[in-house]
Amino acid sequence: MPADSKSSQPELRRSVTPWGSFSWGYSDVGADIFVGLGLVLAWAAGASNVAFLFAGVVYVCIGLAYTELAATYPVAGGGQYFVMRGLGDIFGFIAGWAVLLDFTIDVSLFAWTSVDYSSQLLPALVNSVHPWLHFGVVLGLVIGLCLLNVIGVRESTTFNGVVSALDVISETCILCFGFLFAFRPHLLVHTMQMHWPSPYELMLGTSLAIISFVGLESISQAAQETQRPASIIPRTSVSLILTILIFALAYSNLALGLQPWHPITDAAGHHLQFWQIFPNNPDNQGKAVALLAAQVPYYGAFAALYVPVLGAILLLISSNSGVFGSSRIAYAMSTSNLLPSIFKRVHRKFRTPMISIVFFSVIAVVELLFAAAPALFPAVSSLYTRFFHGENGLDFLADLYAFGAATSYSLVFLGLIGLRLTDPLSPRKFKIPLNVPMRFRGERVEFPIVAVIGFIGIFSILMFTLFTHPLGRIFGPSWLLLGLLFYLVYRRYRRLPVLGSQPRNWRIAQTEILRRAGELELMDEYLANVKASDARRAGQGT
């Protein structure tokens, strides 16, 4: 009877192809530059390229870590699963809960900026002019994406793949024409010299720059629905890392060398630096790439017409990735008894985690309401100015986005180190470079230096976020504390270890993971490694 019930339980469908895997990551990470560019330029000014470079180095470390982990453990949980397996249940919950914050913010933040880009061609959608219309359209997009993901991942993947291909071509054209016909190296040097930010502004800009690199989690989230993940994920991840790094560094340098800058002061009295083409208007922060593209000679007139549309669509599919990612994390956490079992229920017809999709889409709507409150209700705006230094709705979403990413990525690096030490027998088809051979508990292991470098970098960004973001400093830790309280109550109710981890046979689990992924050769290699390890231990015991 147990076997029958288990086999009758519907599982996630493996329908994500190699391009689908890339597009899931690109639809999330690739869209980030459309949001992050304006936010970073507003604060880091002449050091924007430096902020992107620092965040980019950290991003490469993050990307390499996720590539190794997702190829070795192709499950839907992504970072949450890696941390749980490497550090224990409670740390796995914290990592998963932080990523859930990130993905629900992803839904509302990118739906918001999708409408911002649309407003470049449809002025009626400008938030400061028609806030209720802006909010209504964003809300409609979130509801529509929720329904799309309930129908199925195959439909979502097709949607992502087409738009991702168009955007890669578009961003390449903007950069090529921009550097050929508009970029002035002497202006880049002049801008960096004359408009270098204060240390506080540089830290703030760097903490926002990491926003442009968030989203690799999406590839690992889709690992359980990816065909031959151990083979596909390394290729798609490395391609994505290089693509996004080149785009982010190129756009930041192009922006600094394209148009002169001048200082302005915002409504709260803060000193900012902006392009002359980027006037003192918070509505323009959400559509910086469209403003930049319009200034490119020859190509700009054409780009001004289609970049807002393409940007809006790409941001929309990034929002779609947030719906997908949050539901898969909740599904995996529920499977591991970190969340109630209701979150792992799969719709029998569509074979998608419908309850998880709907629940976290509702959370995204709540976050959207809080972010839109200052524009919708003028009385609330004065409270934001008084308590949060005048941060607007986009700032609020960006603050929490940076906090969630930095928190989860910090734990993922620690999880990678833990798994290298405690699980050296699992075959790693892709392994990050710079490793130090050593012995741990009788086994030969390789200690990852890149993981240490990445942890120091992302933990620094987490500190920058807490120091420079008033809203992130309050609501980010509050989200974690609320989730941790729920976790402790739930584990006590289920009579599971509250602070410890429930017993698991990771050898059987890893064998099953590789079998379900179709990686039979890796499964045989893993079983051979286990057998050889047991033989060595038996020989040492005698």
- Find the angle CA(249)-CA(254)-CA(259) to the nearest 5 degrees: 150
Q: How many CA atoms lie within 13 A of 382 on its CB side?
A: 2
The gap between the terminal CA atoms of the chain, to the nearest Å, is: 42
Give the residue from 318, 311, 289, 293 showing the smallest Cα distance to 303. 293
Instruction: Note every long-range contact of 379-387, with CB atoms under 8 Å and residues 24 or more positions apart, other chains counting.
Output: 385/267, 385/268, 387/470
Highest mean pLDDT among 286-300, 361-375, 410-424: 410-424
DSSP symbol at 296: S
What whole-number percentage of the chain has pLDDT above 90? 33
* 13 vs 541: which has the higher pLDDT: 541
**One-character DSSP codes across 194-224:** HSPPPHHHHHHHHHHHGGGGTTTHHHHHTGG
354 within 8 A of 149, measured Cβ to Cβ: no
For residues 347 and 110, give the distance between their C-alpha atoms in angstroms, rounded to a whole number. Answer: 27
pLDDT > 90? residue 52: yes
* Tokens encoding 395: 């700032």
13 within 8 A of 153, measured Cβ to Cβ: yes
> Binning pLDDT at 50, 70 and 90, where does residue 75 land?
confident
Return the pLDDT at 266.
46
Handedness of CA 341, 346, 348, 354 (dihedral sign): positive
105 within 8 A of 89, measured Cβ to Cβ: no
Residue 354 backbone phi and psi in degrees, to 5: -60, -45
HEC sequence for 322-364: HHHHHHHHHHHHHHCCCCCHHHHCCCCCCCCCHHHHHHHHHHH
Return the pLDDT at 420.
96
pTM of the predicted model as reported, rounded to 2 decimal places: 0.84
